[in-house]
Amino acid sequence: WEDSKEWVHKNRLTKSGKMLYKKRKETIERSFADAKQLHGYRYCRFRGKKHVLEQALMTATCQNIKKIANHLAKIA
């Protein structure tokens, strides 16, 4: 595991790694921020692993539907 972590750390410091890391902030981290701000990810509405997982999947589904709608709106 340590070898993999070291490789990732070294790769992140390369030019291409820096570009990918910068892009991560714009894509992946933005998705979590939207889930937190717009879709109630700050708190769980339910109790229990099954219900929390269901909430997380519904949130992800909503986000994906919004992405598809935005993509289709750009095409049309």
Q: Provide the whole-model pTM.
A: 0.58
What average pLDDT is seen over the chain? 85
Residue 12 and residue 18 in contact, taking contact as beta carbons nearer than 8 Å = yes
How open is the CA angle 50-53-58, to the nearest 5 degrees?
A: 125
Please give the chain's pLDDT, 76 residues, in tens: 888 888 888 888 888 888 888 888 777 778 888 888 877 777 777 889 999 899 888 888 988 998 899 999 998 7
- Structure confidence at residue 56 (pLDDT): 87
Domain spans of the chain? 1-43, 44-75
